[in-house]
Every structure is written in structure tokens, then in C-alpha cells.
Amino acid sequence: MIRALYVDIDLIHLNPTATYFPQLIETAIPNVSFYGPGFSSSDVLAKGLENWIRETGPFEMIIIGPNSPILVDDLNDDVIDSTLAYMHSYTHHQLTDSQVVTFFKDLFAVLPNVDIEHRLVTTLNFDYYGATDTQVKRLQDLNLILIGPNEQFVLPLAELPAFVTQEKHYQRKRARLSDCWFDFLHANPERVITALHYVVPSEFSYAPIVSRPPVVAIPGVEYHLRKEANIALKRSGVRRASKMYFHLFRVMNRLGIPVYGTQLGLHLYNQLYQRTLKTSRYAYTARTGFGLPVRKFFEIPAAGALMLCSPCTGYLELGFVDGVHYHSVEPNALPEFLQKLNRSGAGHDIAVAGRQITARNHSLQARAQQIALCLDALKRRTYRGAWWRHGEFLIEER
């Protein structure tokens, strides 16, 4: 049995993927120990990571969680300040800034020399297109293995759609976009434990769509295609689910009210978000310009709504078939498509099939089993990468 050490800060996030990552790892590796602020006592932390490894080891694997910026070019004041600012605004915790900074500095000092064979880091929420050559060199120097999307889900810049240039997140980082991350993934499949977002049991709903109001939800930030869909629906008069809570929380956050920085605020936001998906007959989402499989492509079918979408990169490989598990619809065609659905009353079987394949392939339990298979091959030194092929998770071994 693999013996692993999980190192990170324990935080509650706006994005559930990061919140539940420790649970995902413990499900995949039952014999795992946790170390870091929120996981360990102040006395243990005061002695440092190196001492903890010496006293409680040996370990075969060390896994760095999503809250430690281990891949930054340099742990300078700007990185620390931006990390703390994010933690204050979008996570809940009971830690002091001093505890966090001390932990980061200790981790950065110890990790290069730690005597553990396999070193892993999660990149599920990493900024792939904004990655730098220096970051790629750092992960190579640290001999890190990634837990995140492989090359199937990260397109080269030349293959991105033209509308990507209109999106704010593209414009903000236009000057530093590159293919260095895609190139690394393409050249090193054996360095990637292929994993994407996942959903937890509380996110599933079994209420049939016929018992739900015939409204369509478009959750989340209005990226280009989602914005077009909202405009088309507004012009046509098709009923949309209310997003009052979403806009209210954003306004309050801009006014400096820490609605995403308290446990109550995060709980309320996520409950309202889930309620919208679970009480809407239809839900629409669309790929961003970068095409990554964002969490909504799993949340919507799990919630039992009939998913209408412009699919993300690799969606077919993940097992989602157009007309079987969801309907592919471009934004301008959405109003007419919804009107046809309402007249025909169709969609129940597709919504059920979407929920079932999400439970089978993309629940926390399923993702943990996939990771465990990869880690077992890694331990046996036979791992050469993992791939999705039409809904089947395949591991390549030597």
C-alpha cells in the first residue's frame, strides 16, 4: 500500500474542486498523512516540514495541494501578497498571514531536497496558457508529477477559436500567453496523472425535469458565448432562472464586504448556486475561448438538469455524446431549441443519461479510483500516461 504525505493549507474555497481535494486524495490513497496550517497543530508546524517527515516517515509520495503556489517563478513579496489577497477574498480559514507565509517559506526551502521518491502537485486550477518557461523548468527541476488535465484538454494557441481574443481573461494576459505548458504535456505524458474536475454526492439531484419549472439557467460569469446566449434569450423572451444572488454577491464583494471570505457566505452562495441547477429544467453553459473542461460541464448533468452547451475540448472523450447525454447548441440557436423542447416535452432520458455518466466517470469516488490506478502504476515504475477514449479511462504502461 502506498504511504503518502499531503502538504498544503486547509481552506474552504468558492470552487468546490479545491475544497474537496484533500478528500479526493484520501479516497485515492487511504494511507495518507496531512501536514500544513489547518491540518497540523502550531507545535508541529513550529518544528517544520523536514522534522515532520523525519519523525513520521518514510513516505513514498509527497503531494502538494492546490493552495501552495509551488510553481511560481519566485516566492517574492508580490506572489505572497497576491496569494494572501486571494485567500482573504475567496476562501474561509482561521489562519494568520504569518502562519501562511512561514509555511510557504518552509515548503519552498525543504521540497528541493526532500528524500521522497515521487513528488506530485495538483494543476486542476492552474493557469495553463499563462504559464512561463521558468515555471516549466521549475517543475522539471523539482521532478514534479502533475495531477491535472493532460494534452487532450489543452489546445495549442493556434487552434483556439477567434472569439477568444474578445474575452477579458485573454486580454489581461495577452502579452504572456504561450504554448509552453501544452508542449510540456505533449512531450511528457508520463509526468501527468490525468485528472479533471469532479463532483461530490451532495451535488446530485434525482428530481425529474418534468417536475421543474421550464426555465433555463446560465450559471457563472458571462464569458463570450454565455453572454451571447443571455442576449439571445433576453430578446426572445424565454424564461431564465434568476441570477439575483450571483449579481448581489459580486456587488457586495466589490464593495469590500467579504461575502466569499466567510464560511456562512460561501455556504450560502454554493447552496443558492446548487438550488438554481437542481430546480431548473434546462441549464446552458459554453466553453471559454481556451476550451478547458470547466467544472460546470460536470455540475450541470449531476444536478439533473438537461444540459445544453457548446462543448468543451475533449468532451466526447470524457464520455459525453451529443444527443445522448446533452444537446450541443450554439448561443443564437438556443431560444428556438428551447421552444421546441418545451413543445415536445422531450429531454428526460438525456438528462438522466447525463447524470448517470457523470456519476460513473466524474464523481469524486470515480476520480479517486482513476488516480489510484495511475499511482499504482507509478509505484511499479510502469506508468506512461493516462488517456480518455470515448468515456473509458485508459492507462498506458511500459
Match 495541494 to its residue by C-alpha cell.
65
Identify the pLDDT of residue 93.
Answer: 94
Exposed / middle / buried, residue 142 (Cβ in 10 Å: 0-12, 13-18, 19+) = middle
- Tell me yes or no: is domain 201-362 CATH 3.40.50: yes
Give bridge partners of residue 239 from the DSSP assignment: none
What gap in Å lies between CA 197 and CA 138, rounded to an integer? 25
Express each pLDDT in 78-134 by its tens digit: 999 999 999 999 999 999 999 999 999 999 999 999 999 999 999 998 989 999 999
Q: Is 10 helix (H, G, I), strand (E, B) or coil?
A: coil
Q: Report strand pairing: 392-397 vs 383-389.
A: antiparallel
Sole residue written with cell 445544453: 308
How many whole angstroms separate alpha carbon 71 and alpha carbon 136? 8
Q: Are 190 and 146 in contact (CB under 8 A)?
A: no
**What pLDDT, on the 0 to 100 scale, is given for residue 345?**
87
Calpha distance 234→182 (Å, rounded): 38
Q: What's the pTM value of the predicted model, to 2 decimals?
A: 0.95
Contact call for residues 282 and 256 (beta carbons, < 8 A): no
Residue 136's pLDDT is what? 94
CA distance 390 to 78: 43
The pLDDT value recorded for residue 168 is: 86
Q: Which three cell numbers stand for residue 199?
A: 463532483
For the chain, give every domain's residue range.
4-198+363-397, 201-362
Residues of the chain falling short of pLDDT 70: none
Of 278, 274, 276, 318, the closest CA to residue 297 belongs to 318
- Burial status of residue 17 (CB atoms within 10 A of its CB: 0-12, 13-18, 19 or more): buried
Taking the CB of residue 212, how many other CB atoms lie within 10 A of it?
A: 19
